[in-house]
Structure 1
Amino acid sequence: MNSEVSIISKSPKETIDFGKELVKTTRGGEVFALIGELGAGKTQIVKGAALALGFQGEVTSPTFSLVHCYKGEKHSLFHVDLYRIEKGESSLYLYLEEILYSGEVCFIEWPEKIEKWLPAWTQYWEITIISENERKIKRLR
Structure 2
Amino acid sequence: MLFIKKIKVQINVTSLSELPDAARQLISHAGTSKIFVFYGDMGAGKTTLIKELAAALGVTEAVTSPTFSIVNEYIIPSGKAYHFDFYRLKKQSEALDMGYEEYFYSGNYCFIEWPEKIPDLLPEHYTRVSITALDDNRRQLVVENI
- Tell me the TM-score normalized by structure 2: 0.85
1:3 paired residue number: 7
The CA deviation at 1:21 is: 2.9
Structure 1 residues 103-132: Cα deviation after superposition (integer angstroms, max 9, x where no partner): 100010000111211111111110011000
Contact residue 71 and residue 77 of structure 1 kept, 8 A: yes
Is 1:56 aligned to 2:60, yes or no?
yes
Deviations 1:28-59 (A, max 9, x none): 76110000111111112211111111111111
Aligned to 1:112: 116
Q: CA deviation at 1:17?
A: 2.9
1:132 corresponding residue in structure 2: 136
1:82 maps onto 2:52 in alignment: no
The residue type equivalent to 1:92 in the other structure is: A
- 8 Å contact from structure 1 (residues 5, 138) kept in 2: yes
For residues 66 and 94 of structure 2, the distance between their equivalents in structure 1, rounded to whole angstroms, comes to 18
Instruction: State the alpha-carbon separation in 2 of the partners of residues 139 and 27 from structure 1.
Output: 12
In the superposition, relative to structure 1, how do residues 26 and 136 fare at CA in structure 2: closer, same or farther (>3 Å)? closer
Deviation for aligned residue 1:75: 2.8
TM-score normalised by length of structure 1: 0.88
Check the 8 A contact 1:70/1:78 in 2, yes or no.
yes
Q: 2:52 aligns to what SS in structure 1?
A: helix
Q: Which ranges in structure 2 are unaligned for 5 or more consecutive residues? A: none
> In 1, Cα distance between the equivalents of 2:133 and 2:101?
31
Contact 1:9–1:134 at 8 Å: present in 2 too? yes
Note the C-alpha offset of 1:87: 3.9
Structure 2 equivalent of residue 21 of structure 1: 25
Query: Is the 1:8–1:136 contact (alpha carbons within 8 Å) kept by the matching residues of 2?
Result: yes
SS in 1 for 2:123: coil
Aligned length: 140
Q: Which runs of 5+ in 1 are unaligned?
A: none
- By how many angstroms is 1:4 displaced? 1.8
Distance 1:70 1:7 in 2: 26
Aligned alpha-carbon RMSD (Å) = 2.2
Alignment partner of 1:37 is 2:37? no
